[in-house]
Structure 1
Amino acid sequence: MRKRALPIRAAAPVALAAAGLLLTGCGTTPAPVAPAGTAAPKAEGPKAAATLGGPGSACALPVSFGLAEKWEPEAIDDPENPEFAALTRQGPAVIRCEVDAKPAGHVGYLRIWTADKGPARAALEGFVKGARNTSKVAYEETAAGALPAVEVTYTVSVELTEESKEERAFAVSTPKGVVIVHLGGLDSDEHRAMIPAYELAKSTLKAL
């Protein structure tokens, strides 16, 4: 089992610029109009390429869920060590596992945290309060697999770049404690590109 020594809590965003082109057609024939009521087919999310959290997986967790293709999990080495508390603790939660999106072409991590038994909402609120420079915090009741869950979306201000980026997390209560699954990202664009993998984890989650 590979273990990651310490989590990477933040990275400096990279500014990206994109140019748009306006294309015009020639001739007088009008473009065909789509029939009323016709909608573009909804894009399917990624399918699970592996399962994390179960027996023999990279991280021992109170839950299991599906991983998107090429996302690579690593357990955190000695997360209870108080010497590294600034990196391994956030509010009431301790980080247990990181799933790296770089092999899948993204810059960010899906991180799994655990907290003591109790209401998922209280643990998630404490987790967000433990983050720095948060704003636009919004909670909602939802489901993770068959389990009731609480989800939060918020923005984080990055002091180094004076920019903000989106983050989100959901929490569930299990017989072994609360589990928080968090998605960050280098910037908001990277974050949004990784949401399908986050949603896959949420929809396939099971308590062990």
Structure 2
Amino acid sequence: MLAALTRRGGTTVRCEVDGRKAGGGFLRIWATDAPAVAPRTALEGFANGTGDTVTGQQFRDVRAGGFDATEVTWLTSNPLSEEKARNWALAVQSAGQTLVFTVNEGLITERADVLPAYRLAAQGLAAAA
């Protein structure tokens, strides 16, 4: 069960920033299991790494702080609950590793509620000195 929560589409979760005191939701940072995976390839695997139906993937090259990055948005629909959700993720490469940043809803929030924190985190990315 733990593996289902911490591994997805060739990535493993490495960090989680919890926003419960601020109203819920959280950001997760995932690292690819293989080194130097192209950001778009990492995002394709990540988006398709669940049992949900994935549609409407839109990729764009962006600047995230000091990094060239790729961002994707997509829609998922869960076949059991028939719920649909918009998803966001951003991937960057640094020091031979590809990192994927994601938005996740909390118990009382939607993913869109956490989007401002996701945008702020992406803008603030910088290489460690």
TM-score norm. by structure 1 comes to 0.55
Distance 1:203 1:186 in 2: 23
Q: 2:30 aligned with 1:113, yes or no? A: yes
RMSD: 1.9
- Give the structure with the higher percent strand: 2
Residue 201 (structure 1) shift: 0.2
Q: 2:12 aligned with 1:94, yes or no? A: yes
Residue 183 (structure 1) shift: 0.5
- 4+ residue runs over 2 A deviation: 83-87, 158-161
Distance 1:171 1:204 in 2: 14
Residue 84 of structure 2 aligns to a residue whose secondary structure is strand
1:142–1:150: 8 Å Cα contact kept in structure 2?
yes
Residue 159 (structure 1) shift: 3.6
Instruction: Tell me the equivalent position of 1:127.
Output: 46
- Give the structure with the higher percent helix: 2
Residue 207 of structure 1 aligns to a residue whose secondary structure is coil
Alignment of 1:157-168 (within 5 A): 157-168=77-88
Distance 2:20 2:80 in 1: 23
**Closer, same or farther in 2 for the Cα pair 1:186/1:103, shift >3 Å?**
closer
Instruction: Tell me the equivalent position of 2:67.
Output: 147
Residue 103 (structure 1) shift: 1.0
Unaligned runs of 5+ in 2: none
Amino acid at match of 1:119: A
Ranked by relative contact order (alpha carbons within 8 Å, sequence separation 6 or more), the top structure is 2
Unaligned runs of 5+ in 1: 1-82
Question: Deviations along 1:21-73, whole A, 9 cap, x unmatched?
Answer: xxxxxxxxxxxxxxxxxxxxxxxxxxxxxxxxxxxxxxxxxxxxxxxxxxxxx
- What percentage of aligned pairs have identical amino acids? 37
2:103–2:111: 8 Å Cα contact kept in structure 1?
yes
